[in-house]
Amino acid sequence: MANIAENIQKIKSELPDDVTLVAVSKTKPNEDLMQAYDAGQRVFGENKAREMERKHEELPKDIEWHFIGHLQRNKVKYIAPFVKLIHSLDSLRLAKEINKRAKNEDRVIDCLVQLHISGEETKFGFDYDEAVEFLRSEPMKELQNIRIVGAMGMALHTDDKSVLKSQFGELKSFFDKMKKEYDHFEVLSMGMTNDYEVAVEEGSNMVRLGSSIFGPRNYD
Ligand SMILES: *Cc1c(COP(=O)(O)O)cnc(C)c1O
């Protein structure tokens, strides 16, 4: 069994102070989240809307819930009342739906634009050119109830450091460029258990760690 509190303390002591740790608790039971909570962790990441909604209801109210996986438009309503940050904004249609639901809730929802950085065919997210076009587009400017606060990307699943370095490095350059254009562009979410050390070296300020905190998952 994973010693969750110890894992959190060790990871936190090694991360630079300006890097936010998102504890990715998808598939994990409330007891595991509470062990992390009791060790001081307040930011949790989930990738299923209904699971996140349930955990939000059952767990302490000072937890910040981050949505990290592909978000289906018909699921936005379940998380709109409370989600703190959506890492996976990957289309205008999704942006419009989040905006609509945020408006219903009388709130502004912070989102990260998800970039497709791994070179794989199947992954969600914008290419760099598409992302720039999306961010600058007229329809985006009209959405008053979402705020784009940065970017997120997932590198190829590999141990080849030079590949990771170049994929994260490109995303950092994109981030720096957009930061000059957008006031609130502040969050660069990159790095998972397998690659977060490289991601942090390349300028990540938010890492999403699951298995290094909670142990391996049985399913995703
Ligand atoms: C599952 C998941 C993570 C965490 O993965 P680990 O390898 O367990 O750290 C991070 N980001 C996203 C988008 C995920 O789906």
CA-to-CA distance for 208 and 218, rounded, in angstroms?
18
For 178-194, what is each residue's pLDDT tens digit? 999 998 999 999 999 99
Q: Model's pTM, two decimal places?
A: 0.97
For 59-104, what is each residue's pLDDT tens digit? 999 999 999 999 999 999 999 999 999 999 999 999 999 999 999 9
Quote the pLDDT of residue 89: 98
Q: Which of 163, 185, 165 is nearest to 175 (CA)?
A: 185
For 123-158, what is each residue's pLDDT tens digit? 789 999 999 999 999 999 999 999 999 999 999 999
Amino acid identity of residue 120, one-letter, is: E
Domain ranges for the chain = 4-214
Contact 153, 123 (CB under 8 A): no
State the distance from the centre of ligand 1 to the C-alpha of 191, rounded, in angstroms.
9
What secondary structure does DSSP assign to 81-142, as a single string? Answer: TT--EEEEE--HHHHHHHHHHHHHTT--EEEEEEE--S--SS--SB-HHHHHHHHHSHHHHH
- Which residue lies with its CA nearest to atom 11 of ligand 1? 208
Q: Which atom of ligand 1 is nearest to the CA of 211?
A: 8
Whole-number CA gyration radius for the chain: 17
DSSP state of 157: S
Amino acid identity of residue 45, one-letter, is: G
Structure tokens at 13: 């002591």
- Which residue lies with its CA nearest to atom 12 of ligand 1? 68
Which of 8, 21, 24 has the most ligand 1 atoms within 8 A of CB, as the residue to mutate?
Answer: 24
Contact 207, 21 (CB under 8 A): yes
β partners of residue 66: 45, 85
Question: What is the CATH number assigned to the segment(s) 4-214?
Answer: 3.20.20.10
Q: Which residues line ligand 1 (CB under 6 A)?
A: 24, 26, 47, 68-69, 154, 192-194, 208-212
β partners of residue 21: 207
